[in-house]
Amino acid sequence: MGDGQYLSCIGTLSGMPRLVRQIAISILSVLIMGTVNQVLADHTTNNSGPIKISPVVKEGGAAIRLSPINIIGVVPDQQPQTNATILKGRSLRLQQSDTLGQTLQEELGISNASFGPGVGIPVIRGLTGSRVRILQNGIGTHDATSLSPDHAVAIDPLFAEEIKILRGPEIVRYGGNAIGGIVDVNDQRIPEKRAKNPLSGSVESRYDTNGNGSNSAFKLNMGKDRFAFNLGGFFRNRGDTRIPGKAIDELFVEQQLGLTEIHNVSGKIPNTDSAGMGGYTGVSWIGNNIMAGMSVSHTDNRYGVPKGSHNLDPNHLDGLESILPRIRDLTGFEDIFGPQALFPNIRINMQQTRYDFKSEWYEPMRGIESISFRYGLVNYGHTEMEGGSPFTRFKNDVGEGRVEARHAALPHLTGTFGVQWINRNFSALGVETFVPPTQQQMLGVYTTQEYSLEKWIVRGGIRFEHSRVDPGANELKLRGSALPPVALPSSLDYQALSASSAVQWNPRQNTALTLTLNRGKRPPDIQELLALGPHLATRSFEIGNVQLQNETVNMVDLGLEWKSERISSRVNGYYNRTDDFIYLRNTGLVYEIDNEVIRQRCVSEVECVSIFAYDQRNAEFTGFESRVDATLYRMPRGNVLLTLFSDYVRGRFVNGDRADVPRMPPLRYGAELGLGNDLWNTALRYTRAQAQPHPGRNETPTDGYHLLTASADYQIKAGKWGDVWLFAKGHNLLNEEIRNSVSFLRNFAPEPGRSFIFGLRATF
């Protein structure tokens, strides 16, 4: 890169935010220095290792030119880990769906906290929200999923090349918000390898019969010499979700809210249509032992929140119907009695723009395998609309960085040392300003180490972090006189020390017995501390608690993984004792938004929401996960495969009345029968979910259900031109009415009914 090109690049960056511009300039400098070093290295060094041989003809005859090839980033084969799951390849493609929660809901110990088809958040062993860290290429998504269950994850799973779910000692690298586990979605938007071909990529399109949903995406990979470029885009659209019965559980509405006259619908859930689009571009410079790259991405997601009883029944208007001779005749009264006034839609318009930076230096010195730098700058915002009018605007501007060094100091000892920092500016402005503008800073330092000797592997990690929350108000108050103002301190400071360890014994190859001990601390999140006010999208009135202390998790996990030629199995049993567990408690009271009063029962269903308060109690979680995969029969053109699986978690409070922790997943078990080979596969999967009779205080139980799914796929090899992959999947083939026990909206929106998905993926 010459001086003119460098100045041209700097000019191009002048329109970007200052922080982004500074980081980009730093990366350009690394690129230039890397190029200079590479030229010098090519003329002064003679590297050993694998060589490429090419004939060269000289005057004196034939000669052999030896060109060095450096292999970077190759990870040797590792022993199996019972507390880690990696989803990729064909398995990932068949499970990919509109949301991350839907994509992962068939994995052991993972449920989908749905909020209509537009929202799906992973629940790991009964924990979600601020306890499960969702990452995109190692950096947090920094959307608003932890703030409220109606906010979608800002990741399109169709881009994913690999999804990792971690629950072991590695979670200390990611802070207190990862005490429940890690979900890391790798979409390779920043190239890490030199391009093998000048142009390659993939195109995929899917169609879902339920809601006439379509989902399409493309990826292009380009490169020349040491530069590599990636480009991708997606478009998603779907209509209202079809269901087998009624949308609202009328028995719940009568018992919980005291209402007997509601407006209900059958066959579909109104206002559940959604549309999304987005894309990214990434560029990297890749040398022999160093790489640097960046990407820019944007996501736009618009979806409706399923209607609850958040409307007026035109047959029961408390006397208002006498104003009009016929309720259907709204001429001249549209603003008062129009459809959006009587039945207001709640919709969310979400946008996120990300700037991601990555640099790695491989083997900078003896004993150091790599030094890596990652930084993400996220500008997130969404507007909640009611009846077509904007009510609340949420903004979350976050910068997260991480510097990490991986060492191999001793023959059997490897590990990492790292530092992570987060700066967050959050605000929720508008009619429903139930959280004041707030700044949050976090700094964490950590190390993870692994020592292996013969049949034993010992892993451990420790992390210290400091978190500070600075509210942008001196008190919390609500318009009207429902609650008195709550005084706020100028800042809230938290220190957290977390440690994790695991001992793995491999008595023979492909067998691992692992004992994991975790002790982690999580500082309270912004909404847990500072919420006060109604949130119509979740039909709730939330009350925070500035007296909350650190949450402390003490977890024991015993896992066994065993593989043979025809059978593999995996079993985990765990016990989690969480001191000062922070949870959202249903108080049993309701709040009438129009009248600004708190009542024990709703007088009418107009703007009447349940009151939830953040509280702390010691809690314990006990559960297991198990899976067995077997090859039943081998045939010349395919194998018969059988999978048996089950998972379960029970959450209870330790002290007092030992009440149940709300919104826990039920016991699940089932089997999958498959037939196929490397080119084609078919499978039939049956899942039985038991009833959930332990919903938590002032919550409602859910019935059990039978879930039957089927899938088939076929791969067409097109030689040097690429491959074509055809697939089909049927979901909920029995058309069961499924009320999801981990969903806040389970009594207003069941899971989708029967659907068939057809798709095509082409790679070139």
Query: Of 15-19, 193-197, 485-489, 704-708, which range is least confident?
Result: 15-19
619 φ/ψ angles, rounded to the nearest 5 degrees: -140, 160
User: What pLDDT, on the 0 to 100 scale, is given for residue 343?
Assistant: 53
- Residue 258 reports pLDDT greater than 70: no
Query: What's the mean pLDDT when you consider all of the chain?
Result: 83
Residue with tokens 């809901």: 105
Looking at residue 481, its pLDDT comes to: 56
In degrees and rounded to multiples of 5, residue 489 shows phi and psi of -75, 165
| Overall pTM surpassing 0.75 (yes/no) | yes
Least confident of 58-67, 119-128, 340-349, 437-446: 58-67
Dig out the tokens for 694 from the structure: 């332990």
CA quadruple 205, 236, 192, 93: dihedral sign: negative
Strands 486-487 and 475-476: antiparallel
Q: Which two tokens stand for residue 117?
A: 């088809």
Q: What is the pLDDT of residue 69?
A: 40
Tokens of 289: 């032992």
Residues 177, 183, 187, 188: what is their CA dihedral angle, to the nearest 10 degrees?
70
Buried b (16+ CB within 10 A) or exposed e, 656-668: eeebbbbbbbbbb
- At 653-688, the pLDDT tens digits run 998 788 999 999 999 999 999 999 989 999 999 999
pLDDT tens track for 163-190? 999 987 888 899 888 988 999 999 999 9
> What does the block give as tokens for 219?
């990826």
Lowest mean pLDDT among 44-53, 327-336, 429-438, 748-757: 44-53
* pLDDT at site 361: 95
CA distance 259 to 625: 40
pLDDT at 333: 46
Above 80 in pLDDT, residue 432? Answer: no
d(CA 620, CA 137): 32
Residue with tokens 């790679």: 763
* pLDDT given for residue 115 in this prediction: 85
| pLDDT at residue 5 is higher than 60 | no
Q: Is the pLDDT score of 121 beyond 60?
A: yes
Q: Say which residue, 28 or 594, is predicted with more confidence.
A: 594
SS3 645: strand
510, 529 contact by CB (below 8 A): no
| Residue 438 predicted with pLDDT over 50 | yes
Q: For residue 223, what are its two tokens?
A: 């490169």
409-412: long-range contacts, CB 8 A cutoff, minimum separation 24: 409/367, 412/451, 412/452, 412/453
Residue 174, token pair as written in the block: 């990611």
Q: Report how far residue 166's alpha carbon sits from residue 182's, in angstroms, rounded to the nearest whole number.
A: 5
Of residues 643, 647, 617, the one with CA closest to residue 630 = 643
Question: Is 148:535 a contact under the CB 8 Å cutoff?
Answer: yes
Tell me the mean pLDDT in the region 735-762: 92
Beta bridge pairs of residue 554: 519, 577
pLDDT (tens digit, 9 = 90+) per residue, 341-365?
A: 455 788 899 999 999 999 999 999 9
With cut-offs at 50, 70 and 90, classify the pLDDT of residue 373: very high
pLDDT higher than 50, residue 604: yes
- The CA distance from 727 to 710, in Å, is 11
What percent of the chain shows pLDDT beyond 70?
82
What integer pLDDT is reported at residue 18 of this predicted model?
A: 52
> In the 8-state DSSP scheme, what is residue 316?
B
Q: Which ranges in 45-129 belong to alpha helices (H)? A: 89-95, 100-104
Instruction: Specify the pLDDT at position 593.
Output: 75
Bigger pLDDT: 130 vs 605: 130
The per-residue pLDDT for 594 is 72
Lowest mean pLDDT among 3-12, 127-136, 467-476: 3-12
